[in-house]
Amino acid sequence: MMQKGVFFGSNGPEIQFDINGKGMGETLEIEEETAYVTLNLNVFNPLGVLESIAFYKGKINSDKRFKKIKEVFFIGDQDKFNYQLNSLISVEKNEIYRVEVIAKVGAVTVIPESDSYDRGFAYSNPIWIG
């Protein structure tokens, strides 16, 4: 998993994310320069409310560096522990897509003797469009 990049980092929230069945760390090959594909996103935080979900779209430059070109925030209602999206999106070759999540509470950041806590986070590896 580490070698292929088919994982996400988290201190609580969980991400399931694919585009046309290709998951994190994988490449979706398309025949034309642009294609319509299915985005499936499921985010769950067993500890509490999801505050925001950012869906990033980037372009790989000629020097192989990533340039963020679009950022879309999905913000659920205040009682949501789970967020699901199934949508048709347009993709182009040499793009990447990734997800970042912020939750009210993280798994390893609760301080037992106080009312303090840090937020939860999760971030995906990209799905590449080739």
DSSP code at position 110: B
Residue 31, domain member (yes or no):
yes
DSSP code at position 61: -
Domain count of the fold of the chain = 1
Give pLDDT tens digits for 2-58. Answer: 566 666 788 889 999 999 999 999 999 999 999 999 999 999 988 888 888 888 888
- Per-residue pLDDT, 9: 82
- Placement of tokens 């798994």 in the chain: 107
Expressed as residue numbers, the domain containing 36 is 8-129
pTM above 0.95, yes or no: no
Residue 2, domain member (yes or no):
no
Among 17, 37, 19, smallest CA distance to 90 is for: 37
Among 1, 3, 5, 14, smallest CA distance to 120 is for: 14
Residue 1, domain member (yes or no):
no
* Distances in whole angstroms, Cα of residue 56 to Cα of each of 20, 44, 97: 17, 18, 6
Residue 62, domain member (yes or no):
yes
- Measured on CA atoms in the order 21, 5, 96, 105, is the torsion positive or negative? positive
Domain of 114, CATH number, reads: 2.60.40
Chain mean pLDDT for the chain: 83
